A and B are shown apart, each in its own frame.
Chain A
């Protein structure tokens, strides 16, 4: 056995073993890298240096900014205003509240870029409201959690920035553009599923919005949506970088929340910063450690080994993409999304690019796929939050989620095998 093979075994065994033994994933990445470096005689300081170098990126700054902007808006009463706006569009039909839920999650995702924030903010209003109107609790949780997944695909998604960083220089602007049509496709699929189930279970027809309230709802909704417009408009027009638009969105969200809406007092700002810091601290450690881990992977030529291994199974691009999708769905069930993006991107990126797949297209597939993992047990962060809000057991919610899960997988396959859907908008705008 060659030195490289032994090193790969040390890396893999320590990685899998420590993860199974409940070690923090970020620390596992560093420890597995250190063990391998120790065996190979690489100075251990290199791992620490790679961690620091992983942080030395201006693009990465967009992550704390987007999380901060999303946190301010989530705490500041944005969810109610977006739900009211969604009510205007699809509220007055059978199962209207379920459809409002889907649209509100999409609109909220356009600002927060996070599925967990989606389900926590929209879900805490919509789930009790739906239950009060006679919707079954398991159905309300299933609709909300599946709709919340739009948040990871809809720009501006933090996960897309994580992917761009891990892939090493994929255009964030193109990724954001590429997320829009898939998100709308997902929205359509989820709305049709919700509507069909609502008809079958004979849920109530939604109430239309009172006419005189419409101007205020549109004004409030418009002001909220402006955060997304600043971020996306700024990036797409080339006026700002993703990082700059994130900072401006924070300032706008702050002014809107504390000086226009004024639902929460200014003293609440400390809590917002603490919450943001907690989330960002966790993510940045993951990024730093995965940068060290990715360096060891590259040093050992693991991506090339994986590429060769997969191509030895089949050289048919459709088969390889199916294998990758199944692999990611399986990994997404027990593991969280952010570490998987950071770990799997350096491994799979060379495989898909060698097959001629566009990195932007792959990014959207990867993110949607791992997004589905957020609602699949045993570890489904979004599912857990939804169940806690709806007071439904995970087993019952998972059963109600089944049709939504299959629809999401169908959307995933459509997007995988018809790249034109994902790439249409980036190609149209970027040329």
Chain B
């Protein structure tokens, strides 16, 4: 039983790392593609026809996968000044309600994201001629991750991998 549990844990961590690495490499790729676009335009007077479309596609994937990672790392901003007035036991119940709603949100992403992926399959992107589905398929994928992370939270598993990095912020 312990072996199976360890196997599941190793598999989950592998998927986690894969998603995260994909997001980081997307960021690097976006930076390099846009830089290359400037250089070729200014120096060689042309741009690769696919550059803008691929960059936006990477941004969408990066953003939608970021939703799931954000839930895993508890990054998404929330206002707790009101609920801090409640007793701890109420907040525990509230955590479960939020976790359940997050799970339902994940289900929404899977169901409607998949619907859109299928619906958009016949349409193609202007430059690359790829199916528009590549833009939407990330939604059900991220939805599955949201469901997994929220379920783990609900059963009391801490999903945060980067405790030492603290909170993120744009301000």
Stretch among B4-12, B94-102, B151-159 lining the A interface: B94-102
Query: Which residue of chain A has the shortest Cβ distance to B66 in the bound complex?
Result: A281
The interface on chain A, measured as residues whose beta carbon lies within 8 A of the other chain's beta carbons, has a size of 73
A10 partner residues in chain B, CB cutoff 8 A = none
A371 partner residues in chain B, CB cutoff 8 A = 171
Closest beta carbon of chain A to B12's beta carbon, Å: 19
Contact of A22 among B35, B83, B102, B162 (CB under 8 A): B83
**Binary contact track B51-63/A, C-beta < 8 Å → 1, others 0:** 0100110011011
Query: Is B94 in contact with A21, judged by CB distance below 8 angstroms?
Result: yes
Query: Which residue of chain A has the shortest Cβ distance to B162 in the bound complex?
Result: A274
| C-alpha spacing A164/B35, complex, angstroms | 22
**Binary contact track B12-37/A, C-beta < 8 Å → 1, others 0:** 00000000100110011011001101
Contact of B67 among A68, A248, A285 (CB under 8 A): A285
Query: Is B70 in contact with A281, judged by CB distance below 8 angstroms?
Result: yes
Query: Is A273 in contact with B27, judged by CB distance below 8 angstroms?
Result: yes
Q: With A22-B83, A45-B116, A64-B30 as given contacts, are A55 and B63 in contact (CB-CB < 8 Å)?
A: yes
Interface check B49, CB cutoff 8 A = no
Contact of A281 among B42, B67, B165 (CB under 8 A): B67
- Majority secondary structure of chain A interface residues (helix, strand, loop or mixed): helix
Contact of A31 among B27, B80, B101 (CB under 8 A): B101
| C-alpha spacing A116/B109, complex, angstroms | 32
Among B101, B113, B115, B169, the one with the most A-chain Cβ atoms within 10 Å of its Cβ is: B169
Query: Is B94 in contact with A27, judged by CB distance below 8 angstroms?
Result: no
Closest beta carbon of chain A to B10's beta carbon, Å: 21
Contact of A278 among B42, B65, B73 (CB under 8 A): B73
Query: Which residue of chain B has the shortest Cβ distance to A247 in the bound complex?
Result: B34
Query: Is A381 in contact with B171, judged by CB distance below 8 angstroms?
Result: yes
B-side residues, CB < 8 A to A, are 20, 23-24, 27-28, 30-31, 34-35, 37-38, 42, 52, 55-56, 59-60, 62-67, 69-71, 73, 75-83, 91, 94, 97-98, 101-102, 105, 108-109, 112-113, 115-116, 135-136, 139, 162, 165, 168-171
